[in-house]
């Protein structure tokens, strides 16, 4: 398992994909910070509530983390590298677990990049606007650690979905449709159901001040259950199918 | 010690297909195929396109599940081998390389999973003459370079058995000769090679034994001399068998 994990981490470090996703996460986070930091009036921006909304740019990394997991798995099927991988380690569950662990670590790194850019960029924007940083320690910690946890779990879900769908374009399309259509539409139409979706559970975990969301603890549990469900489904499939 | 013991107890049969069958829906790709490959030989695996050669190799390597029968390597299903990379190396037709990764990194990734030292990566790169090109991304490789890189990957664990699926594809004449010499040298160092090909002429000088299949069924399993007896060449014997003509 450790040898396979080392191999999976080396895979992530030896193509440009991870670097591009980290760059993308950093850029989107910075963009969100700039937009949210420039528009509010100075008085409003001094309020803790507004600043917490500003710092919720930490979630910008989540989609990139999901893509990191998704691409780590689907690229193996796209380029056929899954075959040499399985010739060296034929126990498919060992390969899958190593991949999921590597995806989680990739998610943590991307999440941490977003958190660093959000807090660094946020502080800079507030300083430029001449406003003091008003988010207290516990809330900052909740946002920072929460964003990293959501990114890690999302990367695991991305990897599991990638292993289920296998086709790279199909998996990317499915993720985009989910993230930009299903998640938003279902939550808007039937919030009592939509709040149990992984995206909304992640928002809840971060303690975002949006109506109808679950409590942060419940959000964390629901998101972890989603990750577990996808991992179990993938484990059942990968041990049987031909590659 | 472990490897000495492994060699003492090595089965004389490197590969066994026993009533091996694979169906894809209504299509029967491999149909009750049985044959053995003796250790220490170079065996050619012949058949027209679509005969089921690649499917058979994938089942032998544990990549595809047989619908029926058994595919054994050293008397066991591939997935039950201990550290399979040290016993079996394989080059599959597609190449199976990430274009954005360098050749050297491709080998490092596999060496890490197989718990092999970094030095093996440089050794196999030198063996297939990719030492300088190894630092370049695979996207810039020719087909022949990809084949050589795949062969280097198969050799990482110093296996006893090589399964090669159309390894001559994309090689220039010099590369084909190099491959032929390599297979002979590998076999004379008591290795076993099972090589599929449609380049019949190139196989003829290399193999000791042939297994011929058509429509997923065995049509011949014989030493080369016996197989080609009465025909002008391997190609004639092959065409006679696979086109249903009686010579």
Token couple for B1: 């010690």
User: Do the Cβ atoms of B105 and A17 come within 8 Å?
Assistant: no
Q: Do A158 and A234 form a contact (C-beta atoms < 8 A)?
A: no
User: What is the rounded distance in angstroms from the CA atom of residue B233 to the CA atom of residue B247?
Assistant: 12
- Beta strands B192-197 and B161-165, pairing class: parallel
For A227, list phi and psi in degrees, rounded to 5.
-60, -45
Q: Residue A144 sits in which domain range?
A: 2-238
- The count of domains in chain A is 1
Question: Tell me, what's the pLDDT at B235?
Answer: 76
What mean pLDDT comes out for the span A198-212? 87
Mean of the pLDDT values across residues A12-27? 97
Q: Which of A6, A10, A83, A88 to mutate to test the interface with B (most CBs of B within 10 A)?
A: A88
Mean pLDDT over B66-76 rounds to 96
What average pLDDT does this structure show over A3-11? 97
Contact yes or no for B96 and A86 at CB 8 A? no
Residue of chain B whose alpha carbon sits nearest to that of A72: B98
pLDDT at position A207 is 79
Contacts A240 to B, Cβ<8 Å = 65
In the three-class reduction of DSSP (H, G, I as helix; E, B as strand; rest coil), residue A133 is classed as coil
- Return d(Cα A61, Cα A25) in angstroms, integer: 5
A91-95, A190-194, B6-10, B26-30: lowest mean pLDDT where?
B6-10
Identify which of B31, B75, B30, B33 has the alpha carbon closest to the alpha carbon of residue B54: B30
Average pLDDT over residues A200-225: 90
Share of chain A above pLDDT 90, in %: 83
Name the 3-class secondary structure at B196: strand
C-alpha–C-alpha distance, residues B218 and B47, integer Å: 9
B108 vs A contacts (CB less than 8 Å)? 10, 14
Judged against a pLDDT cut of 90, whether residue B111 lies above it is answered with yes
Instruction: Identify whether the C-beta of residue A117 lies closer than 8 Å to the C-beta of residue A59.
Output: no
The helix/strand/coil state of B44 is strand
| B chain contacts of residue A88, beta-carbon cutoff 8 Å | 84-85, 110, 113-114, 157
In this complex, the residue of A4, A14, A85 whose CB is nearest that of residue B101 is A14
CA distance A188 to B132: 58
User: For residues B234 and B228, is the Cβ–Cβ distance under 8 A?
Assistant: yes
Query: What's the gap in Å between the CA of A10 and the closest CA on chain B?
Result: 6
User: Over pLDDT 70: what percentage of chain B?
Assistant: 93
Residue B217: phi, psi to the nearest 5?
-115, 150
pLDDT per residue as tens digits for the range A115-169: 999 999 999 999 999 999 999 988 899 899 999 999 999 999 999 999 999 999 9
Give the angle B121-B107-B154 at the CA atoms, nearest 5°.
90
Query: For residue B140, is pLDDT > 90?
Result: yes
Residue B61 has pLDDT above 60, yes or no: yes
Is there a contact between B210 and B25 (Cβ–Cβ < 8 Å)? no
Interface test with chain A among B21, B106, B112, B120, by most A beta carbons within 10 Å = B112
Please report whether residue A204 resides in a domain. Answer: yes
Residue of B nearest to A75 (CA): B98
Q: Judging by beta carbons within 10 Å of its beta carbon (0-12, 13-18, 19+), is residue B63 exposed, middle or buried?
A: buried
Backbone angles phi, psi at B44, to 5 degrees: -85, 140
Query: Which residues on B lie below 8 Å from A17 (Cβ)?
Result: 100
B57: pLDDT strictly greater than 90: yes
**Whole-number pLDDT of residue B244:** 61
Which residues of A lie inside 8 Å of B (Cβ-Cβ)? 3-4, 6-7, 10-11, 14-17, 75, 79-91, 240-243
B64 reaches A (C-beta below 8 A): yes
For chain B, give the mean pLDDT. Answer: 89
CA-based nearest residue in chain B for residue A16:
B100
Residue A243 lies in a domain: no
Distance CA A63, CA A151 (A): 8
Q: What is the pTM of this model?
A: 0.91
**Confidence at residue B243, expressed as pLDDT on a 0 to 100 scale:** 74
Task: Tell me which chain B residues have a C-beta less than 8 angstroms from the C-beta of A83.
Answer: 63, 92, 94, 96
pLDDT at A238: 81
DSSP symbols for B103-150: HHHHHHHHHHHTT--HHHHHHHHHHTT-TTGGGSBGGG--HHHHHHHH
- Partners of residue B87 in chain A, C-beta under 8 Å: none
Indicate the pairing of strand B68-73 with strand B42-46. Answer: unpaired
CA distance B196 to B184: 15
pLDDT at B94: 64
Q: Strands of B27-38's sheet, edge to edge?
A: B27-38, B13-24, B68-73
- Interface test with chain B among A84, A95, A101, by most B beta carbons within 10 Å: A84
**pLDDT 10s digits, B144-201:** 899 999 999 999 999 999 999 988 887 888 888 888 888 989 988 989 999 998 777 7
> What is the nearest CA distance from B115 to chain A, expressed in angstroms?
6
The CATH code of domain B11-242 reads 3.40.50.300
Q: Which CA distances in Å does A147 have to A20, A32, A55, B95, B186?
A: 19, 15, 10, 39, 54
Look at B113 and A88 and tell me if their CB atoms are within 8 Å: yes
pLDDT classification of B247: cutoffs 50, 70, 90:
very low
CB of B62 less than 8 A from some CB of A: yes
Q: pLDDT at residue A185 above 70?
A: yes
**B23 interfacial to chain A (CB closer than 8 Å):** no
**Confidence class of residue A20 from pLDDT cuts 50, 70 and 90?**
very high
- Residue B162: the pLDDT is 97
pLDDT in tens, B11-54: 489 999 999 999 999 999 999 999 999 999 999 999 888 899 99
Distance CA B186, CA B42 (A): 9
Query: How crowded is residue A176: how many other Cβ atoms within 10 Å of its Cβ?
Result: 12
First to last CA, chain A: 21
State the Cα angle at A37 between A31 and A39, rounded to 5°.
105
Q: Is A4 left (phi over 0), alpha (psi -120 to 50) or beta?
A: alpha
The residues, any chain, with a CB within 8 Å of residue B128's CB and separated by 6 or more, are: B148, B149, B151, B152, B155
B73 touches chain A (CB under 8 A): no
Beta strands in chain B (DSSP E): 13-24, 27-38, 42-46, 68-73, 88-91, 161-165, 192-197, 209-214, 217-223
CB B148 within 8 A of CB B168: no
Residue in B65, B78, B85 nearest the CB of A240? B65
Q: Is B65 on the interface with A (CB under 8 A)?
A: yes
Residue A164: its H or E element? helix A137-165
- Output B199 or A237, whichever has higher pLDDT: A237
pLDDT of residue B4 exceeding 50, the answer is no
In chain A, residues with a C-beta closer than 8 Å to the C-beta of B104 are none
């Amino acid at each position: 398992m450790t040898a396979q994990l080392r191999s999976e981490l080396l895979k992530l470090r030896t193509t440009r994909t991870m670097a591009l996703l980290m760059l993308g996460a950093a850029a989107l986070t910075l963009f969100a910070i700039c937009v949210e930091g420039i528009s509010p009036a100075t008085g409003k921006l001094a309020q803790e509530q507004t600043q917490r909304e500003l710092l919720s740019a930490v979630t910008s990394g989540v989609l990139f983390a999901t893509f990191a997991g998704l691409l780590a798995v689907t690229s193996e099927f796209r380029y056929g590298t899954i075959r040499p991988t399985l010739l060296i380690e034929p126990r498919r569950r060992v390969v899958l677990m190593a991949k999921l662990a590597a995806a989680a670590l990739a998610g943590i790194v991307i999440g941490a990049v977003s958190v660093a850019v959000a807090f660094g960029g946020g502080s800079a924007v507030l300083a430029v606007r001449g406003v003091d940083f008003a988010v207290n320690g516990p809330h900052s910690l909740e946002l920072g650690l929460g964003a990293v946890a959501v990114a890690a779990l999302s990367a695991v879900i991305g990897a599991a979905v990638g292993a289920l769908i296998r086709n790279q374009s199909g998996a990317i399309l499915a993720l985009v449709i989910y993230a930009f259509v299903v998640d938003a539409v279902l939550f808007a139409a039937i919030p009592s159901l939509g709040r149990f979706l992984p995206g909304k559970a992640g928002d809840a975990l971060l303690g975002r001040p949006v109506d109808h969301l679950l409590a942060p603890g419940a959000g964390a549990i629901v998101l972890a259950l989603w990750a577990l469900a996808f991992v179990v489904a993938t484990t059942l499939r990968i041990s049987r199918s031909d590659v | 010690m472990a490897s000495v013991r492994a060699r003492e107890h090595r089965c004389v049969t490197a590969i066994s297909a026993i009533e091996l069958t694979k169906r894809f829906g209504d299509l029967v790709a491999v149909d009750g195929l049985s044959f053995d490959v003796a250790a220490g030989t170079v065996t050619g695996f012949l058949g027209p396109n679509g005969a089921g050669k690649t499917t058979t190799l994938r089942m032998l390597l544990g990549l595809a599940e047989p619908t029926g029968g058994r595919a054994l390597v050293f008397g066991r299903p591939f997935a039950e081998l201990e550290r399979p990379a040290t016993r079996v190396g394989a080059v599959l037709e597609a190449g199976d390389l990430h274009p954005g990764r360098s050749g050297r990194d491709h080998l490092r990734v596999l060496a890490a999973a197989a718990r092999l030292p970094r030095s093996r990566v440089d050794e196999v790169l030198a063996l297939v003459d990719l030492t300088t090109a190894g630092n370049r991304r695979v996207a810039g490789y020719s087909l022949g370079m990809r084949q050589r890189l795949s062969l280097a990957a198969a050799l990482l664990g110093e296996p006893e058995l090589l399964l090669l699926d159309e390894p001559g594809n994309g090689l220039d004449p010099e590369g084909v000769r190099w491959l032929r010499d390599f297979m002979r040298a590998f076999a004379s160092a008591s290795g076993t090679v099972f090589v599929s090909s449609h380049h019949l002429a190139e196989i003829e000088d290399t193999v000791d034994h042939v297994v011929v299949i058509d429509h997923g069924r065995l049509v011949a399993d014989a030493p080369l001399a016996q197989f080609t007896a009465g025909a002008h060449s391997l190609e004639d014997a092959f065409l006679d068998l696979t086109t249903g003509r009686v010579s």
